[in-house]
Amino acid sequence: MHFYLKEHLEEMRRRVLYEQYRAQKIPVWERIALTWGVLFPFWLIVSGSTAPGNLVIGAITTLIISSFMRDMLTKDIRPKGSVLQKGLYFLLIYAPQLAIIMMFRILESSVKVARNVIFMDINPGIVKIETDLNSDTGIAVLANSITLTPGTLTLDVKRKLGETYLYVHWIDVETLNREDAGEKIKGDIEEWLKKIFW
Amino acid sequence: MIEYLLLAFGEAIMVLGALGILRFPDVYTRLHAATKCDTGGAMSILIALALMTSAPVLIKLKFLVLAFLIALINPMVSHAIARGAYKYGIKPKVVVDMYAWDNP
């Protein structure tokens, strides 16, 4: 009884902390700057020329768009550090690491599926795993990464009582325990995503 | 040299993925073959093309944008097809089905 009350109290404290962090957002100009920083290189690559007039038109247009679409991309980012710190961290450490690791994961997963096609040694099943991420953007990125990692395909996402569950179709079921399966399926992607998203 | 290697690798993966769509038993395992082999094969072919062309850097970056968009859209579409097939009532041939336990 005593332990049950203590656990319940800790759970309530965690929920209150989460709601407090959830209520605070990053400032408006940082949201506009982050959205502009995504949109302007895209304009530059798609238009494909570096004439000065083109650059000025692109900067003004993407600034107008990012000033009223500022909540779309940056709604779920953790408010920690200044925008320069966040941008440098994302650009220099996080993005190259994620890109290289995901590229090798994609190549490895295609090789594994090709081996499965040849030998037909499949043992499929649908398992349920739990995740610590709570925001929409974080769950979407995690589900897409799970689909691209070898042997797994996300089937559905369900949110119940503040916890988030993922149903994963696994082509070669190794374990049915929820923690072990989550450890094997998610790997270290979730740790990286928890640094940026909720 | 490495671009021809990547090109051959991508084409072999694409052919094996098409073979997997024919050989696997049900919808969900076929989606595995369609998603992963197409993503890996298309990405390695696009990287090989970006290395091959003698164009300015901004043109080469367009291939990387295409690879990024393929890696973003392909798993989303396969998730939508798998969920739609399950809601429609196609039973998977599996050893354990925890999704049916929770949605009777």
How confident is residue A80, by pLDDT bands cut at 50, 70 and 90?
low
In the prediction, which pLDDT does A60 show? 92
Q: How far is Cα of residue B96 from the mean position of the Cα atoms in its chain?
A: 25
The tens digit of pLDDT for each residue in B10-26 reads 898 888 888 888 888 88
The tens digit of pLDDT for each residue in B79-102 reads 899 889 888 888 888 777 777 777
Strand pairing report for A152-160 and A125-131: unpaired
Nearest CA in chain A to B86: A155
Which amino acid, B15?
V
Q: Tell if the CB–CB gap between A44 and B59 is shorter than 8 Å.
A: no
Q: Tell if the CB–CB gap between B43 and A113 is shorter than 8 Å.
A: no
Instruction: Give B86's contacts in chain A (Cβ within 8 Å).
Output: 155-156
Is residue B27 predicted with pLDDT exceeding 70? yes
Instruction: Give B79's contacts in chain A (Cβ within 8 Å).
Output: 143, 147, 153-155
- C-alpha A110/C-alpha A196 separation (Å) is 28
Is residue A185 predicted with pLDDT exceeding 70? yes
Do A18 and A78 meet the contact criterion of CB atoms below 8 Å apart?
no
Q: Tell if the CB–CB gap between A117 and B58 is shorter than 8 Å.
A: no
Percent of residues, chain A, with pLDDT higher than 90? 3
In the prediction, which pLDDT does A1 show? 61
A38 touches chain B (CB under 8 A): no
Q: Tell if the CB–CB gap between A113 and B82 is shorter than 8 Å.
A: no
Interacting residues of B39 by C-beta distance below 8 A, sequence separation 6+: A106, A110, A148, B70, B71, B74, B75
Instruction: Give B36's contacts in chain A (Cβ within 8 Å).
Output: 106, 109-110, 112-113, 148, 150
The ipTM estimated for the assembled molecules is 0.83
DSSP-assigned beta bridge partners for residue A125: A170
The tens digit of pLDDT for each residue in A39-73 reads 888 888 888 778 888 899 989 999 999 888 877 77
In the prediction, which pLDDT does A167 show? 87
The tens digit of pLDDT for each residue in A139-150 reads 888 888 888 887
Phi/psi for A127 (5° steps) reads -115, 165
Mean pLDDT throughout A75-81?
A: 69
Pick among A46, A47, A126, A145 to test the B interface (most B CBs inside 10 A) = A126
Do A77 and A26 meet the contact criterion of CB atoms below 8 Å apart?
yes
Strand pairing report for A125-131 and A163-170: antiparallel
* Residue of B37, B41, B44, B45 lying closest to B20 (CA atoms): B37
Do A153 and B82 meet the contact criterion of CB atoms below 8 Å apart?
yes
Question: Measured between alpha carbons, how far is residue B67 from residues A82, A103, B2, B34 in Å?
Answer: 31, 10, 18, 16
Interacting residues of A20 by C-beta distance below 8 A, sequence separation 6+: none
Measured between CB atoms, which of B43, B44, B83 is closest to A156?
B83
From the CA of B50, how many Å to the nearest CA of chain A? Answer: 14
Mean pLDDT of chain A, nearest integer: 80
Question: Measured between alpha carbons, how far is residue A178 from residues A135, A165, B39 in Å?
Answer: 21, 10, 28
Is residue A81 predicted with pLDDT exceeding 80? no
Q: Tell if the CB–CB gap between B82 and A169 is shorter than 8 Å.
A: yes
In the prediction, which pLDDT does B104 show? 67
Nearest CA in chain B to A48: B58
In the prediction, which pLDDT does A64 show? 92
Nearest CA in chain A to B62: A45
Mean pLDDT throughout B32-57?
A: 86
Is residue A82 predicted with pLDDT exceeding 70? no
The tens digit of pLDDT for each residue in B48-80 reads 888 888 888 888 888 888 888 888 888 889 889
A40: exposed, middle or buried (Cβ count in 10 Å: 0-12, 13-18, 19+): middle
Residue given tokens 């949605």 in the structure block: B103
Do B78 and A147 meet the contact criterion of CB atoms below 8 Å apart?
yes
Question: Is residue A98 within a helix (H) or strand (E), and if so which, with residue range?
Answer: helix A95-119
Measured between CB atoms, which of B39, B44, B82 is closest to A153?
B82
B87: exposed, middle or buried (Cβ count in 10 Å: 0-12, 13-18, 19+): exposed
Which two three-digit tokens encode residue A3?
Answer: 């332990």
Which amino acid, B47?
I
- C-alpha A174/C-alpha B35 separation (Å) is 22
Question: Is residue A164 within a helix (H) or strand (E), and if so which, with residue range?
Answer: strand A163-170
